[in-house]
Amino acid sequence: MAAITVASENAGMTMAAASGGGDTVAATPGEFGGHTIQGNVVLVVTVGATPTTVTVDGVAKPSLTSQTAVYSVPSGVYSRSVAVTYNQVTSVTVGACVL
């Protein structure tokens, strides 16, 4: 598993090849008492011609083929790493940023 680098708000995001054993992405503390503590982390996944299912924090997302998708990374009260897995990694790139 590789850690996906989370780009800061208003900074360039670098896409990297998805890891065969899955990746992790840092989730920032989200809401506490109805107030957002920090920006929300989003995961960006670009998939080639092979159908690919992405699972974020144990939740499978709809299969993608030749598409780019943006997923919200579930936050919590504390910072944590969220697992991201793929049913295959051929021509799959990933990146993350704070919004």
Q: Where are the domains of the chain?
A: 2-98
H and E: helices and strands count for the chain: 0, 12
For the domain made up of 2-98, the CATH class stated in words is mainly beta
pLDDT digits (tens, 9 = 90+) for 4-38: 988 887 888 999 999 999 999 988 765 555 555 55
Question: Does the CA dihedral 58-60-66-67 come out positive or negative?
Answer: negative
Residue matched to tokens 């995001």 = 13
Measured at the CA of 94, the angle between CA 92 and CA 18, to 5 degrees, comes to 50
pTM: 0.85
pLDDT digits (tens, 9 = 90+) for 33-62: 555 555 678 899 999 999 999 999 999 999
- 83: nearest Cα among 74, 50, 92: 74
- Rounded to the nearest 10 degrees, how much is the dihedral formed by the CA atoms of 75, 39, 41, 17? -150
